[in-house]
Each structure stands twice: as structure tokens, then as C-alpha cells.
Amino acid sequence: MCGIVGYIGNQPAVVRLFNGLRELEYRGYDSAGLAVLQPDGLRCFKTVGKLDNLATKLGDYESSGPVTAIGHTRWATHGKPTEANAHPHGLTHSQVVHNGIIENYVALREAVETPFLSQTDSEVIVHLFERHLAAQAESTPNQRVESSSATDDPAIDPALAAFRATLDTLHGAYAILLISETAPGRIFFARKGSPLQLGFAEDGCHFASSDAPLVGVCSQTLYLEDGHWGVATPEGLTLFGADGSPAVLAPKPLPASSLAARKEGYRYFMEKEIYEQPRVLADILTGRLSKQAVLLDELDADWLRPIASVTLCACGTSYHAALTGSYLLERLARVPARVEIASEFRYREPVLDPNGLFVVISQSGETADTLEAIKLAKAQGLSTLALCNVDNSSIVREAERTLLLRAGIEKGVASTKAFSAQVLTLWLLALYWGQERAVLSGERHARELSALRAVLNVMQVQPRVHERLHRLSKRYLHGHGFFFIGRDLFYPLALEGALKLKEISYLHAEGYPAGEMKHGPIALADAELFTIALMARSTLYEKVKSNVEELSARDATIIAITTEYFELADDIIQIRSYGHPMLEFFEMLVVVQLLAMEIAIRLGNDVDMPRNLAKSVTVE
């Protein structure tokens, strides 16, 4: 996902923008740039590749005195990662940065005469702005508005009117910051379908496309809502709603320090976040477990009572959590559960139970397909619930109820602690709902509560296991592919293990139901085919064991993750036996996360920012 930062004030702008862009790096990008407007003019710097390249281009350039500046990290959608396609995009007097997609940009480009320098949709914004500005100047000659005389009334202020006229022609999703020599000391902003927020500090006004750049800079932030637009100065902002009427926003608190988003001695954010999982799970359980029951204050029995079915919908790793949740909801709440991949669901013309519950799961809360899926379900009258890690995100704003994941900022693009947080939250939801429906025996309910209390230590990384995985990883750096296989709850875990390996090692891996191997995939079995078998002692162990035997008989290389010695395994990663599937699930999860990371490290990959990936996919 692209990242946006902005600053207006009297302090050095480049260092402030850079610090902000560094906080957004984890989201993945392929080019970056910034524009700085000072009394002596407007300068723009942009490069392909990482921020270090931009730093080289900037050299020791820094602003001084009153300044207005915007910055951007781009994850290419329209047009390859090139310098010309990097943001900001500028014309004679103005520069713009944009997140989202302008769906009618082709028609708009054809309508403007000025030549385009890039292949992007975003560039059309600055062309339209300057065209409207020129039209304003023609209709009201000699009324060039300086910031000192700016009225912030679109009816009078030409720059604001030109910005408004530009927005009125855009279709699609956008978060925009625009600066112009015609309006020094002001940043024009707009949000529709792509997050944008701002905060005020002693040194001026700061913009960002997420919390991270503002944490430790501002104590509060204003989360712009869809349709909001306006203009900001170091002292304040003029905010309008989609209809042009004045709007008001209540500030929300920001965490005091960005320390939590630092590596703290780990090699990668991903490694830190794997090791953080026990604390995250403890945070999730805080206030939610009494001696006799699961407590979910965000929900209530009356709201759940009329609901007779549930649909879970998500993308990627969050989809794997959804699939895991479907087993738990049917088993513990006895509610029919189906699972949907959001990008498929949106266009399938689904027939939904209007008395059903639609649960969307998202770490970022900004995944475009998942956001559109919940809107579709709401339009069909379903109750909606979001499991999300980012409060005030687009998906949280859309959902009727929310269970926040409490996982903290997740900076590794490959999701780890957010996934375990999603699964634990779904386990709590299933148990809570089962309590409300009174479908659990006392013994089963007590067993689940006991397992929930034990979950914290099963995710504690054991140094001997991590060391073993580090040593083992050297054997699995090639081959013609990996199969992760499991049954029941361990099938979605197999999918997740395969995705973790794929996205950071770039090796091919597939998650598969163990029982399906003989229906075709076993044709691939040979010594170069690495099979990671999730052999949970608590769940269909003998069935999985026979599936593994079939593979081993055809010389496949077997890595068994299991509780005890298994003679057919070429390698074994031993986990502790608990007798409860969810405890085995969480301990195996740590193993597949660390295995993927250790293989990727040996291959020299960027574990935190894998190629081609973004932390949040806010485009289709």
C-alpha cells in the first residue's frame, strides 16, 4: 500500500517527512518522493527503489523557515516503478501525492491539454487543479490569493474552489495532499475510500495515511472520513463534507511513543512479532475470561440471539483465520458457518441469509476487497462484525460491531501476531456464542476455558526449537516445491504455513488437505518434494499418518511437526502434547512461522518487506 506524509510549519521539513516515510516503509513500496514549497519556490525529489536512494538524491538539502511539504511511498498499480511514475506529480505551480485509484483517469486525461509525464492515474489530479485555477483566474482577473488573504471559502478562494472542482470530477478512491505556489503555507487534502489523517504539534501540522508516522509526533489525530476535504495551515484546518458544508471532527488520542514499533534487538520486525505473540494473546484475554465464562463486552446476547448463520470473509492470511474460525464456530457455537474469499465473494452475486452474521477479518482494516464485501453484506441487511487490528480504519467504520485484535502495530508484511490474534479472537467468539446458545456441555465448556488459559505459554518461542529450525532450514533452500498438509483445523494452518513460506522465501509452497493428496498431488511425490506434515496428536493423527506414509512410500521428503518420534519422517520438529487441538495449533503455528523466516534469511531475502508485497492491499 502507498504511504502519504505532509507537513506545514517553520521547522525543517525534509527530516520530518523522511521520519514519517520510514515509519511507512514496512507497508511495502517500490519508489518514493517528496515536494517542498518555500518562499523561494517549489522543489520536487523522487527516485525508484528504497528511501536510501531518495536520501542520496536529496544530499544535504533541507528547508528553512516557513515551509509546506508532502511525501509519498508508491506501490505500483498504474505504470511500472519508474522515477516518472513516482509521486509527487507536478505541473507548473503545484505538486500532488495520492493513494487509491482514479477510475475515470483515462477520460480525464483526454480532457486536459497539458502533456503528461507519467503513466499514472494520480497525475491527472494536478492537471485538473491547475486547469480549474486558470479558469478561476480568467473569470476573476488579478485576484491571485496569497495565504495571508486566503479566505478558506470555496466561493471566494480560487485555490480552494479549484481544488473542490477537481474533486468533483474524480471517480474512485483517493487520499490526496496537494500544495501549490498559488497558495503557500496551505495543504489541500481530501479523503474518499483511502485513509488519511492529520495532527497538530508545537512545530505545526502533520499529515499521514496511517497512525505510525504521527506516533510520538502528535498526541492526538483527526481521522478524516470519506468525503472530507479542505485546507490546512500550521494553525488549523478548514474542513468540509462531501456536500461542501462545514464539517467537524473529534480528535482521537495517539500512543505516546513509537518505541513499540522498533525492532528492539531482533533481526526483523517479523521475528519480534513472532516472539511477541504470548503477550499479544495475554492482552486479548485480559478482561475476557472469568472463572466460568468468556466475556465479550463488545457484543451482547440480544444482538446475537436472532442470528442463525455466519459468513466469514477475508483475504490472504486473514482468510486462513476465517477458515479456522469456521471450524470453531460450528463446533463450539453449533452455528452453520461458511467462509468466503473477499475478492471472489464480491462478484459472485451471493445469496445471503438476511438473518445471518457477516464477519470480516482484517489486520489493516483497509483491504479493498474485504471493505467492499462488508458493504455488500450490509446492503443485503446482514448484521456485521469486524475483527480488525486498526481502530478507526475503513472496515471498522463500516462494521456494526468490532472486536479489535489488540495485536499492536504489525510492521512485518508477512502477518504473524495478527493471525494468531485473529484465531484466538475467533475462538473466544465461538465459545461466547456457544455459551449464549447453551449448546456446550459443562465438561466441554470447562475444557475449552482451561485450554484458553494455557494458550499463553504454548506460543512462547522455545530457544531449542528456534535453533533447530535455524539449523534445519539449510536443507530446504531448493527443491521443486513444498506441500504443507493437515486435516481439520490443521488444514487452514497448512494454508497459512505455505503462504508464510511463499511470501518471504519466494519458494513455491501449497497448503493442502492431507486427505486430498491421493487425489492427484501425490503424483508430484519424489525426493525433491518437501512435505511439511502437521501431525496433531489430538486430531485425526492416524489418518494424517497414513497420508504421510503414502507420500513417504514414494520417496517424498517428510518434515513432521508432531508430538513424538515418527520413523518415516526425514526431519521431525517435536512439539509438546496437550490433548487439545487449539494448543497444538498455536504451537505448530510458531514452528511454521519460524521455519519460513529462517529459510528466507538463509536465502538473503528482505523478510520484513518481501518483493512485490504490500502490508495492506487497498486496491483491487
Q: Give the residue numbers marked as catalytic.
A: 2, 615
The region of 90-98, 309-317, 530-538, 584-592 touching ligand AGP under the rule CB under 6 A is 309-317
Q: Does 238 bind ligand AGP (CB under 6 A)?
A: no
Residue nearest to ligand AGP (CB): 316
Alpha-carbon distance of 278 to 212, in angstroms, equals: 23
Q: Which of residues 317-336 bind ligand AGP (CB under 6 A)?
A: 317-318
Choose, by CB under 6 A, the member of 414, 493, 501, 561 that binds ligand AGP: 414
- Measured torsion, CA atoms of residues 99, 77, 193, 209, in degrees rounded to the nearest 10: -30
Query: Which residue number, 24 or 451, has a Cβ lying nearer to ligand AGP?
Result: 24
- Measured torsion, CA atoms of residues 430, 514, 502, 262, in degrees rounded to the nearest 10: 40
Please give the full DSSP string across 319-357, using - where no structure is assigned.
HHHHHHHHHHIIIII---EEEEEHHHHTTS-----TTSE
The region of 162-170, 410-418, 461-469, 600-608 touching ligand AGP under the rule CB under 6 A is 410-418
Among candidate residues 44, 51, 38, the one with its CA nearest the CA of residue 11: 38
Choose, by CB under 6 A, the member of 312, 315, 595, 596 that binds ligand AGP: 315
Cell of 291: 472463572
Cα 239 versus chain centre, distance: 27
- HSE at residue 389, side-chain half, CA atoms within 13 A, is 25
CB of 348 to ligand AGP, least distance (A): 19
CB of 592 to ligand AGP, least distance (A): 12
- Measured torsion, CA atoms of residues 269, 270, 271, 275, in degrees rounded to the nearest 10: 100
CB of 384 to ligand AGP, least distance (A): 15
Alpha-carbon distance of 161 to 594, in angstroms, equals: 54
Residue 52, classified by CB atoms within 10 Å of its CB into exposed (0-12), middle (13-18) or buried (19+), is exposed
Query: Which residue number, 363 or 563, has a Cβ lying nearer to ligand AGP?
Result: 363
Q: Does 99 bind ligand AGP (CB under 6 A)?
A: no
Q: Does 618 bind ligand AGP (CB under 6 A)?
A: no
The region of 128-136, 210-218, 310-318, 474-482 touching ligand AGP under the rule CB under 6 A is 310-318
Alpha-carbon distance of 430 to 403, in angstroms, equals: 13
Query: Which residue number, 63 or 194, has a Cβ lying nearer to ligand AGP?
Result: 194
Query: Which residue number, 311 or 616, has a Cβ lying nearer to ligand AGP?
Result: 616
Q: Does 413 bind ligand AGP (CB under 6 A)?
A: yes
CB of 388 to ligand AGP, least distance (A): 8
Residue 185, sorted as left (phi over 0), alpha (psi -120 to 50) or beta, turns out to be left
Number of Cβ within 10 Å of residue 212's Cβ equals: 22
CB of 83 to ligand AGP, least distance (A): 27
Query: Which residue number, 410 or 448, has a Cβ lying nearer to ligand AGP?
Result: 410
Q: Which residues are registered as beta bridge partners of 95?
A: 90, 179
Q: Does 402 bind ligand AGP (CB under 6 A)?
A: no
Kindly determine how many residues on this chain lie close enough to bind ligand AGP according to the rule CB under 6 A.
Answer: 15
CB of 503 to ligand AGP, least distance (A): 6
Q: Which of residues 357-386 bind ligand AGP (CB under 6 A)?
A: 362-364, 367, 370
Q: Does 415 bind ligand AGP (CB under 6 A)?
A: yes
The region of 291-299, 409-417, 453-461, 529-537 touching ligand AGP under the rule CB under 6 A is 409-417
- Measured torsion, CA atoms of residues 605, 611, 616, 617, in degrees rounded to the nearest 10: -150
512 backbone dihedrals φ, ψ, rounded to 5°: -145, 145
Query: Which residue number, 68 or 326, has a Cβ lying nearer to ligand AGP?
Result: 326
Q: Does 503 bind ligand AGP (CB under 6 A)?
A: yes
- Measured torsion, CA atoms of residues 281, 283, 289, 291, in degrees rounded to the nearest 10: 90
C-alpha distance from residue 22 to each of 18, 26, 32, 322 (Å): 6, 8, 11, 32
Contact criterion met (CB below 8 Å) for 341 and 326: no
Q: Does 120 bind ligand AGP (CB under 6 A)?
A: no
Q: Does 316 bind ligand AGP (CB under 6 A)?
A: yes
Per CB under 6 A, residues contacting ligand AGP are: 315-318, 362-364, 367, 370, 413-415, 503, 616-617
